[in-house]
Structure 1
Amino acid sequence: MIPSFRPLGLLPLLMFSTGSFSQLNGIDIRDKMEEMEHIWVDNNGANADGFVGAVSPCTNYVGRNGPNEGEQSSAQWVRTVFHDSVTANLAAGTGGLDASLGFESDRPENLGLFINDTLRFMSPTVSAYLSMSDNIALGLVASLAECGGTTTGIPLRVGRIDAEEAGPAGVPMPTTDLETTLAQFAAAGFNQSETIALTACGHSLGRIHYSNFPDIVNASAVSTTNVNGGVGFDATPADFDNLVVTEYLGGTGSLGGLLVTAGNASDRSDFRLYVSDNNVTMQALSVEATFQAQCNSLFERMINTVPSAVTLSDPITPMTWKGVNLMLDISSTGAVSISGLIRNLYYYVAPPTVVYYDTSTTDNVYSAVQVTAAASGFGTSIFGYTIYWPFNNTIASPGTNSLNFEGISYPINDEIFILPAQSTSSRSNFVLKAAALTSLTESLGTMTGVLYVPERQQGTVSSKITNTTVEMTAYATAGNYTLFSSGSVAVANTRSVVAKVLLGDSASRTVKGDLFQRGF
């Protein structure tokens, strides 16, 4: 289910870091940003990912036992960010949002299903383009937007690096004293008022469960449609609003939740926080606009708290025009072609019947204007509607370096490139094929292929990206090009594999393994 659209008028193009495209583990930051944009924007229909659908409606639960569990995925995703980020140490430059939480699901401070539910759902979208911690950041933004917030409240960035082991313990629990709680949040960069606000913001969504806290939640909460016995912090646990604040201040409804009213005073962690500044922060948050703005600002800081060695991208915005699944191919005579899809994201302005495009060379020579086929894919997005036009055309090679349409350009490397239409993938094997200018092979030597493979790692549901390097063997020539093949390469998991090829200091652009032909 898709909620009401949030039109933005004329949508901006995706913005990139200044200068040449920076790389991380051989991956262009542009590819990372566009993958994040895809998962955020392509919600239903053609090219849909389905990520945002997990929290639409906000009450939805995608765990193994279905809606009667008494859980809420949107709240789990918000809680995952808290528990992963709050153990950061800014002074030391460690921790923050790094998916170390996956190794910590058995700690008492992390009771419940939320960690493994979240990471298990997000695992299919972990790749060399998008880390698990990037997925977690997107999950928080999607949850708030689908639960009554805005799609523009928290700018998204990409580039987080996943930890490969557990981080330090220290997530505050219901019985944690005020001084310890404030110290933990302070180490992560949040002062007293911000800690109070973050707690209220986080508890606007979701419930506290009998299965996790039987000393706090009464067993009467358990039923056949609420197996874990979830009790909301306010009357609207599926609405991202300030009712948790106003009920607390006004003495109405749930009074701020069971962490305010627990029978044992030692369990009243929220109450200890809220009154610690004489309710000054809570009074300010009683204004809905203030609540939304403050929560967005603090959540943005939380998802952007990363280890000091990590550099995040510029903000990602929905792209009005975008190239999708771009790939090169070559004929037996050496003719090089480019194909793919052009996507338009629109709301007010009706899309055209076809799209015009061209290519250009390093000498700024432009090809004749080409035209796509008629649109053949349609979808919906929380930003409006999506429409896709397929195209396929021969390019002047060697020498073409960009594809251009609607005021944007995509870089082309026709000196060395993967051949997705001639490569194959099966359940456990890849055959990678590529082409390179024969003149390059004569001067740079042997070609190698790199497969970025998401593989299981012990102790967490989250995958780790492993680089598998394979030797490529020349098997034919085609015009100005030499063709290479890897032969059959066994990998642990062919899902979400990204590939590239290298020849000396030259590298192809990366390609999703999903574009390879399916083998047997």
Structure 2
Amino acid sequence: MYQQAGYRRFGVIDGVMPCSFSSEGEGKQAAAEWVRTAFHDMITHNAADGTGGMDASIMFEMDRPENPGSAFNSTMNFMINLYNIQTSMADLFALAVYAAVRACGGPRLSMRRGRVDATGPGVAGVPEPTDDLETIVAQFATAGFNTTEMIQMVACGHFLDGVHGVDFPDITRDNSSTSFVHSDSTFSSFDSAIVTDYLGDATGNPLVVGPEGSNSDLLVFTADGNATMRSTSDAGSFSNTCQAILQRMIDVVPSSITLSAIIDSIPIKPVAIQLTFDSSGTFAFTGEIRVLISDRDNTELIVPLHYADHDGAIPSNNTISTAEIHSTGYGYDAEGNDNGGSGYPIQDNIIFLSSHSCLVQETDANGNWNLTAVAAIWNDESLTNPSFDVVVKTPRIGIPVPLLAVESSAMEVWNTDAYKGFTLHMGHFSLPIYLWSTTFDVTVGEYSDSFKFSTALSGTCS
């Protein structure tokens, strides 16, 4: 979300930069498709019974007449690169709206995580261009939005949208694959033109000026005599209105779901942290510290790390760079950054050892590759029965998003003498070749060394 350029960039923004861009070429606009996907997923929420909302159920609903076109597939095919056991497709839909609006110059939305993907289709109920006003109002009301909010959401959602001729030839009068009639005159940037064009009788919005019986935007905008449209016509009001209503849209979830606190950028963030052993059997601590440098001179930046021992005691005047450690935490010292008083805990009861693990890229009798993981378990905690937990991606016919499931296997004692105080355990998993890129955890009791990447492993075990 915050690392969209430079080293370790995630590149979500690539799919919608510039605002008018689509990797699929003429007649497409990815930013519009990302917002449309989120809306179609969310609007079938039932506020009364707490079902539906941003739950990615649209992956099962693309054969419905209310969900025509390739936008949903395209959006999910892009987001699949970020989809994993820790990040749901529903959370990625919310991120897609955030990225699309920002890429087009719109307001910053607040991101939360915790959305859970549906396991099947939800109810139907997406408004269609041919619906009458009573039907549209009822659909929004079911989802928890009143008439004013309905108008705001349609205007804010359509500032960069339009109608594809291949999906609605009766509206565009052109059924070619490149036919895309935009909703406002400045579709490549966030502004209030969709409102001012409409109020000034200068709109080309096909859902306003299109054939009678398919002009749903006109019905929506006039539902309160244009009062809401007039109140959002200036740039500031439009931006504030869209920020609020799009925020509500991405935060609509089933009543059983509680979203996290707002995700903010933090000044100090550990990245790819790993406790391990070096070749001499001494603890090694690796990783990177991301430092927000907006108000710092990055050419003179020094980040000393202080550590606590296995029991949480903090030795005086020691840093990770100068002391042998048995670490459970560290902190940024120059400004006393201690993660709000919580430190940065690192458990050392089970430690994944990449140096002894591997993904042997040779097929066995069943056509699989052998994934081997080795973990060191601290002897003093009486920890038993460690497991090797691998995420298995199962393709689903007709569904662009694979099913993610965790398959666990027992880890057996492998070496009791390699590292003082630890016993090494080994686990194996037969990995189908198409699953060669996956993640896994090593777990014992309540402790886990998690989210390790199979692609980072050597092809041979040592």
* Cα deviations by residue, 1:230-257 (Å, 9 ceiling, x for unpaired): 0111111121211000000011242xx0
The answer on 1:462 being equivalent to 2:401 is yes
TM superposition score normalised by structure 2: 0.90
Counterpart of 1:497? 438
**What amino acid maps onto 1:206 in structure 2?**
D
Counterpart contact for 1:453–1:491, Cα < 8 Å: no
- SS at 1:485's partner residue? strand
**What amino acid maps onto 1:365 in structure 2?**
I
Counterpart of 2:38? 81
Counterpart contact for 1:126–1:496, Cα < 8 Å: no
Pick the aligned partner of 1:432 from 339, 364, 373. Answer: 373
C-alpha change, 1:346 and 1:429, in structure 2 (3 Å) is farther
Determine the C-alpha separation between the residues in 2 that align with 1:260 and 1:367.
Answer: 71
The offset of 1:463, in angstroms, is 2.4
- SS at 1:266's partner residue? coil
Pick the aligned partner of 1:486 from 398, 417, 427. Answer: 427
Equivalence map 1:250-265=2 (5 Å)? 250-254=200-204, 257-263=205-211, 265=212
The offset of 1:291, in angstroms, is 1.2
* Cα deviations by residue, 1:283-332 (Å, 9 ceiling, x for unpaired): 11102211111111111111111111212110001222211111121246
Counterpart of 1:519? 459
Counterpart of 1:310? 257
Question: Which runs of 5 or more structure 1 residues have no equivalent in the other structure?
Answer: 1-39, 373-392
Determine the C-alpha separation between the residues in 2 that align with 1:420 and 1:458.
Answer: 35
The offset of 1:366, in angstroms, is 3.4
Pick the aligned partner of 2:180 from 230, 235, 244. Answer: 230
Counterpart contact for 1:88–1:187, Cα < 8 Å: yes
C-alpha change, 1:81 and 1:491, in structure 2 (3 Å) is same
Determine the C-alpha separation between the residues in 2 that align with 1:371 and 1:414.
Answer: 15
Determine the C-alpha separation between the residues in 2 that align with 1:193 and 1:50.
Answer: 35
Pick the aligned partner of 1:401 from 310, 328, 332. Answer: 328
The offset of 1:426, in angstroms, is 6.1
Determine the C-alpha separation between the residues in 2 that align with 1:457 and 1:57.
Answer: 33
Counterpart of 1:198? 153
Determine the C-alpha separation between the residues in 1 that align with 2:3 and 2:371.
Answer: 27
**What amino acid maps onto 1:75 in structure 2?**
A
Considering Cα pairs closer than 8 Å and 6+ residues apart, tell me whether 1 or 2 has the greater RCO: 1
Determine the C-alpha separation between the residues in 1 that align with 2:296 and 2:99.
Answer: 25
* Cα deviations by residue, 1:188-229 (Å, 9 ceiling, x for unpaired): 11100100110000110132111110000022x85xxxx430
Counterpart of 2:305? 357
- SS at 1:215's partner residue? helix
Pick the aligned partner of 2:357 from 417, 423, 427. Answer: 423
Pick the aligned partner of 1:507 from 447, 454, 458. Answer: 447
Determine the C-alpha separation between the residues in 1 that align with 2:428 and 2:86.
Answer: 25
Determine the C-alpha separation between the residues in 1 that align with 2:376 and 2:167.
Answer: 56
Pick the aligned partner of 2:410 from 460, 471, 475. Answer: 471
Pick the aligned partner of 1:210 from 156, 165, 174. Answer: 165
Equivalence map 1:68-107=2 (5 Å)? 68=26, 70-107=27-64
Pick the aligned partner of 1:147 from 76, 100, 104. Answer: 104
Pick the aligned partner of 1:330 from 267, 277, 291. Answer: 277
**What amino acid maps onto 2:19 in structure 1?**
C
Determine the C-alpha separation between the residues in 2 that align with 1:339 and 1:473.
Answer: 26
**What amino acid maps onto 1:404 in structure 2?**
G
**What amino acid maps onto 1:207 in structure 2?**
G
Equivalence map 1:445-456=2 (5 Å)? 445-456=384-395
Counterpart contact for 2:409–2:429, Cα < 8 Å: no
The offset of 1:519, in angstroms, is 2.1
Determine the C-alpha separation between the residues in 1 that align with 2:245 and 2:272.
Answer: 35
Aligned length: 442
Counterpart of 1:6? none
Question: Which runs of 5 or more structure 2 residues have no equivalent in the other structure?
Answer: 362-368
The answer on 1:182 being equivalent to 2:141 is no
* Cα deviations by residue, 1:361-392 (Å, 9 ceiling, x for unpaired): 234323755487xxxxxxxxxxxxxxxxxxxx
Determine the C-alpha separation between the residues in 2 that align with 1:310 and 1:339.
Answer: 36
Determine the C-alpha separation between the residues in 2 that align with 1:465 and 1:459.
Answer: 16
Counterpart contact for 2:267–2:291, Cα < 8 Å: yes
TM superposition score normalised by structure 1: 0.80
C-alpha change, 1:309 and 1:405, in structure 2 (3 Å) is same
Counterpart of 1:278? 225
**What amino acid maps onto 1:134 in structure 2?**
D
C-alpha change, 1:518 and 1:132, in structure 2 (3 Å) is farther
**What amino acid maps onto 1:54 in structure 2?**
G
Determine the C-alpha separation between the residues in 2 that align with 1:340 and 1:367.
Answer: 23
Over alpha carbons, which structure has the higher Rg?
2
Determine the C-alpha separation between the residues in 2 that align with 1:55 and 1:470.
Answer: 41
Identical-pair percentage: 33
* Cα deviations by residue, 1:340-368 (Å, 9 ceiling, x for unpaired): 01112333432234322121123432375
C-alpha change, 1:308 and 1:47, in structure 2 (3 Å) is same
Equivalence map 1:122-133=2 (5 Å)? 122-133=79-90
Determine the C-alpha separation between the residues in 2 that align with 1:471 and 1:394.
Answer: 35
Q: CA RMSD in A?
A: 2.1
Determine the C-alpha separation between the residues in 2 that align with 1:85 and 1:426.
Answer: 43
